[in-house]
Amino acid sequence: MMSQRNPIPRRQVLIRGGAAAAGLAVLPTDVFRGWLAGFDQEAVIPWVQRPHPGLTERMNILNWEELDSWITPVGQMFRVGHYGLPVIEESDWSLEIGGLVDGPRTFSLAELRARPRREVVFTLECSGNRGRPSFIGGVHNARWAGTSLAALLTEAGVQEAGIEVVFFGADEGEEEIRGNTVTQNFARSLSLEDAMDPGIILAYEVNGEPLPAAHGFPLRVIAPGWYGIANVKWLTRIELRDRRFMGKFMARDYVTLRAEERDGETVWTETSVGRVNINSVPARVTRNGDAYAIHGAAWGADIAAVEVRVDEGPWEPATLGEGLGDPHTWTFWRTDWDATPGRHAIVSRAIDADGNVQPAADDPLLVNKRTYWESNGQLTRDIVID
């Protein structure tokens, strides 16, 4: 579905503007703390488009200009809860495994912690991220620790008919479904095949701390390669079923509606939001003396290259840094920029190991999409250089 990569044009030498230092807006957070080696006194130049204060307040979305560590500190992680925040006491909590298994059972948190420990760094992105212009910080990269889901399922003995693994959270809400008002727990599922991916863990720690309440205490699913919605927090029950699960967050919300053209005919498709898509953003522009640099992140695929374009200039390759080689974490990138005074538009595009290119904002794949989830188009951000 994505276009193939074009040859990278040769770098063009732009004519530098002088007096760049005059009137530079210096943010309080702009002391560069060693993101990529080389500079120790970089100032961040703010984007024209400011983060949405309401979203920052409500969801704690990432302010890209403040991003200075590859691992997102817990205090800077965005958070989502569709049914509010359930507060769970460890002593009242257990995890149940049931449905089509030979050995249904419950686990205390201590029993889960006693199992083999697995750690994974994972860039978790809300599938609604980038769906609205002000929502561009719904992503974090954290180190999660827990225990293997596949091992637990294998031990429970999944029966022949069990094809679907449903994860229930403790959070619940009232839903109106075809004239019925019912109280439901948050739930998402994976096919058994997907759930047996050895990379998926049931996590009880993030960045070395027990999960904070907002991020799923005491236990959550961490499914590298899947959008945030699949990473069920406040997990209480895992249930094996004999047919596809069609709960609200599988089949009513988090459904992507697209028009696809086939032989000149429009076919409307609806798919459940699931695996992540390739993405990148320009995170911040810095100045150190006369030297400007554009820094960003790319994720959602095995990132092989990132290219950056300023105004109507050529696409220029960025230098890839931390995270390179791990398809489940973001890869940081940077490129030097010969900035000239005035307003500039900066856009990035990520390219994966198979040569798939992050779609342009006007790619039919995105233009023909009617729902806001899975908006992974190239992001253009504006900046003014004095």
Ligand X SMILES: Nc1nc2c(c(=O)[nH]1)N[C@H]1C(S)=C(S)[C@@H](COP(=O)(O)O)O[C@H]1N2
* Nearest CB to ligand X, comparing residues 32 and 93: 93
Triad 361, 365, 368: Cα angle to 5°: 95
Question: Is-cis flag, bond preceding 218, omega within 30?
Answer: yes
> How many residues belong to the site for ligand X (CB under 6 A)?
18
327-366 residues near ligand X, rule: CB under 6 A: none
Q: Please state, in angstroms and rounded to a whole number, the distance separating the CA atoms of residues 8 and 1.
A: 21
CB of 82 or CB of 252, closer to ligand X: 82
In the bound complex, what is the minimum distance in angstroms from residue 91's beta carbon to ligand X? 20
Q: Please provide the size of the chain in residues.
A: 386
Binding to ligand X, residues 26-55 (CB under 6 A): none
Minimum distance of ligand X from residue 29's CB (angstroms): 22
Virtual torsion, Cα 232, 234, 239, 244, nearest 10 deg: -30
State yes or no: residue 136 binds ligand X (CB under 6 A): no
Stretch that binds Mo ion, among 64-72, 193-201, 225-233, 236-244 (CB under 5 A): 225-233
Select 137 or 323, whichever has its Cβ closest to ligand X.
137
Q: Which two tokens stand for residue 266?
A: 């429009």
State which residue, 32 or 227, has the beta carbon closest to ligand X. 227
Q: Does 231 bind ligand X (CB under 6 A)?
A: yes
Structure tokens at 50: 């400011």
280's contact among Mo ion, ligand X, none, with CB below 5 to 8 A by partner kind, is: none
Kindly tell me which of 222 and 351 has the beta carbon lying closer to ligand X.
222
Q: Is 228 in the site for Mo ion (CB under 5 A)?
A: yes
Binding residue (CB under 6 A) for ligand X from 130, 233, 237, 381 = 233
Residues 191-230 that bind ligand X (CB under 6 A): 215, 228-229
- Tell me how far, at minimum, the Cβ of 304 lies from Mo ion, in Å: 27
Structure tokens at 378: 């190239």
* Residue 281 C-beta: closest distance to ligand X, Å: 17
Cis-peptide, bond into residue 28, ω within 30° of zero = no
Q: Looking at residues 63 to 92 of the shown chain, list those that interact with ligand X (rule: CB under 6 A).
A: 77-82
Output the smallest distance, CB 175 to Mo ion, in A.
Answer: 17
Closest CA to 245 of 175, 158, 186: 186
| Alpha-carbon gap, residue 146 to 221, rounded angstroms | 9
For residues 144 and 117, the answer to whether their CB atoms sit within 8 Å is no
Q: Which one of 59, 67, 126, 308 is in contact with Mo ion (CB under 5 A)?
A: 126
Shortest Cβ distance from residue 261 to ligand X (Å)?
30
Contacted entry of Mo ion, ligand X, none for residue 117, CB cut-off 5 to 8 Å set by kind: none
The yes or no reply on residue 130 touching ligand X (CB under 6 A) is no
Instruction: Tell me the one-letter amino acid at 207.
Output: N
Does residue 252 interact with ligand X by CB under 6 A? no
The one among 68, 164, 171, 307 contacting ligand X by CB under 6 A: 171
Q: Which does 234 bind (CB under 5 to 8 A by kind): ligand X, Mo ion, none?
A: ligand X
Of 71 and 80, nearer to Mo ion (C-beta) is: 80
Closer CB to Mo ion, residue 126 or residue 156? 126
**In the complex, minimum distance from the CB of residue 34 to ligand X, in angstroms, rounded to a whole number:** 26
- Sequence-separated (6 or more) residues with CB below 8 Å from residue 27: 43, 44, 46, 65
Shorter beta-carbon distance to Mo ion: residue 127 or 335: 127
Residues near Mo ion (CB under 5 A): 80, 126, 228-229
Residues near ligand X (CB under 6 A): 77-82, 124, 126, 169, 171, 186, 215, 228-229, 231-234
